[in-house]
Amino acid sequence: MDSTFRRTGNIHLQDLIDGLLSGNRAFLSKAITLVESKRSDDKKLSAELIDQILKPTNKSFRIGITGVPGVGKSTFIEAFGKMLTAIGKKVAVLSVDPSSNRTKGSILGDKTRMDELSKDPNAFIRPSASGSSLGGVAHNTREAILLCEAAGFDVIIIETVGVGQSETLVKDMVDYFLLLMLAGGGDELQGIKRGIMEMADHILINKADRDNLKAAKRAREDYKNAVHLFPPNEAAWEVPVGLCSAIEKTGVKETWGEIEKFLSQTKSNGWFDENRKRQALKWFHERIQARLEDHFYSKPEIKQEIKKREELISSQKLSVRKAVDELFKD
Ligand code: GDP
């Protein structure tokens, strides 16, 4: 039994690739696990895997969905995802939670989130990517997106689970960024910073149902006014502010309608491709930085050398400039 065979979960890399390309969800799952692995032999296999599946077709559409916990993200994704599979789309849902480690991630996975969607043969749901750093989580998620696309999923939803750090991270890997809000919470209460609202391509007020409908309509007007004051976005896109009820499934189709408008507008004005190009280049430079850091910190003596200089700097016996120069002296 060769190591390739063992490390891909008892299947040969070529079979894994063939299974993935045929759209098999179990193989897709195995492939994502492989690219998330930190083992150096797995990294070699992952590189080969990514290399072989990479045929950039720009056919898929990547949507980021954010909002504070409790706003209704998973309920919305379930309704939205089901609506999309009903019109013939294949939908993958990945989540990003920088604060999670493997254990917490699996608790989330165990929770019966998106129960119906997870049973849908045209849907694939994967709980949070793990990673020891924000950059690591982002990198793993980006590769998972590529794998989902290779497996034929045409709408990829990236849900942010953590609040605060994950929004920028997700914004940099999606074509469209949807912000779910609640009526009546007040922006501060909702923990949504102005910067996050400015990043959004779409603001959707969820739970616009029952006793809450009136307040939701009022909030829509407020947010519409707020959006008008934001600087124009590079996509030349007028950010829609909509209402929906993920539970009653209202406003869900309309949301897709807006997204299709965005798609046709940004594909014809060139923004769609430009944005993907910029994202790929940013990713490339982030990886260079991560590699440099890894390379530097993996030197056997480096920790001790840093510690020594920390003490000298604290007692003002060494300047920061000199300390750094010394560390980089070969
Ligand atoms: P998440 O933490 O953002 O993923 O939020 P969830 O989808 O888990 O929803 C949090 C709670 O809000 C759950 O109890 C849902 O049933 C409820 N909820 C979600 N969407 C709606 C909605 O459109 N209307 C109402 N009334 N409740 C909702």
109-127 per-position pLDDT tens digit: 444 578 899 999 999 999 7
Which amino acid is residue 27, in one-letter code?
Answer: F
Protein residue with its CA nearest to atom 24 in ligand 1: 207
Question: Does residue 257 line the site of ligand 1, with CB under 6 A?
Answer: no
Q: Compute the average pLDDT of residues 90-103.
A: 76
Taking residues 284-291, report their average pLDDT. 92
Q: Is the pLDDT of residue 51 over 90?
A: no
Measured CA to CA, the distance from residue 239 to residue 266 in angstroms comes to 13
Q: Residue 190 in 3-state DSSP? A: coil
pLDDT of residue 286: 92
Interval between CA 247 and ligand 1 midpoint (Å): 7
Query: What number does the ligand 1 atom closest to the CA of 69 have?
Result: 2
Does residue 71 line the site of ligand 1, with CB under 6 A?
Answer: yes
Kindly tell me if the per-residue pLDDT of 108 is higher than 60.
Answer: no
Question: What is the CA(20)–ligand 1 centre distance, in A?
Answer: 33
- Of the candidates 99, 223, 121, the residue with the CA atom closest to the CA atom of residue 166: 99
In DSSP terms, 92 is beta-bridged to: 124, 156
Domain ranges of the chain: 1-54, 56-268, 281-327
User: Tens digits of per-residue pLDDT, 276-285?
Assistant: 999 999 999 9
Residue 125 Cα to ligand 1 midpoint, Å, equals 18
pLDDT digits (tens, 9 = 90+) for 160-215: 876 677 888 899 999 999 999 998 766 555 556 778 888 999 999 999 999 999 99
Q: Is 213 in the pocket of ligand 1 (CB under 6 A)?
A: no
Tell me, using a 6 A CB cutoff, whether residue 72 lines ligand 1. yes
Fold of 1-54: 1.20.5
Nearest CA to ligand 1 atom 6: 72
Side chain identity at residue 313, one-letter code: I
CB neighbours of 99 closer than 8 A, spacing ≥ 6? 162, 165
Quick one: tokens of 159?
């849900």
Helix boundaries (H) for 22-100:
25-36, 40-53, 73-86
Q: How much is the pLDDT for 241?
A: 95
CA–centroid distance, residue 109 to ligand 1 (Å): 17
Q: Do domains 1-54 and 56-268 have the same CATH topology?
A: no
Long-range contacts formed by 257-266: CB under 8 A, 24+ apart:
258/202, 259/61, 259/63, 259/176, 259/202, 262/176, 262/201, 262/202, 262/235, 262/237, 263/61, 263/175, 265/235, 265/236, 265/237, 266/175, 266/235, 266/237
Q: Which of 5-9, 110-114, 311-315 has the highest mean pLDDT?
A: 311-315
Mutate to test the pocket of ligand 1, among 65, 71, 75 (most ligand atoms within 8 A of CB): 75
Q: Nearest-CA neighbor of 166 among 175, 150, 179, 155?
A: 179
Ligand 1 centre distance from Cα of residue 226 (Å): 25
Nearest to 183 by CA among 251, 258, 242: 242
The structure's pTM equals 0.89
159 pairs with which residues across the strands? 65, 95
The pair of structure tokens assigned to 95 is 């989540």
pLDDT at 106: 44
- Would you state the pLDDT for residue 109? 47
What are the residues whose beta carbons fall under 8 Å from the beta carbon of 110, sequence distance 6 or more?
A: none
Q: What percent of the chain has pLDDT over 90?
A: 60
Q: How far is the CA of 261 from the centre of ligand 1 (A)?
A: 27
Q: Whose CA is nearest to atom 17 of ligand 1?
A: 72
Query: Is the pLDDT score of 130 beyond 70?
Result: no
Instruction: Work out which ligand 1 atom sits closest to the CA atom of 113.
Output: 8
Predicted local confidence at residue 63, as pLDDT: 98
Assess whether the C-beta atom of 95 lies below 6 angstroms from ligand 1: no
Is any ligand 1 atom within 6 A of the Cβ of residue 162? Answer: no
| Ligand 1 atom nearest 248 alpha carbon | 23
Atom 10 in ligand 1: which residue has the minimum CA distance?
A: 70
Domain 56-268 has CATH 3.90.79.10: no
- Report, as an integer, the average pLDDT of 252-272: 96
Please identify, by atom number, the ligand 1 atom nearest to the C-alpha of residue 75. Answer: 7
Secondary structure letter of residue 74 according to DSSP: H
Distance CA 28, CA 26 (A): 5
For residue 249, how far is its CA from the centre of ligand 1 (angstroms)? 12
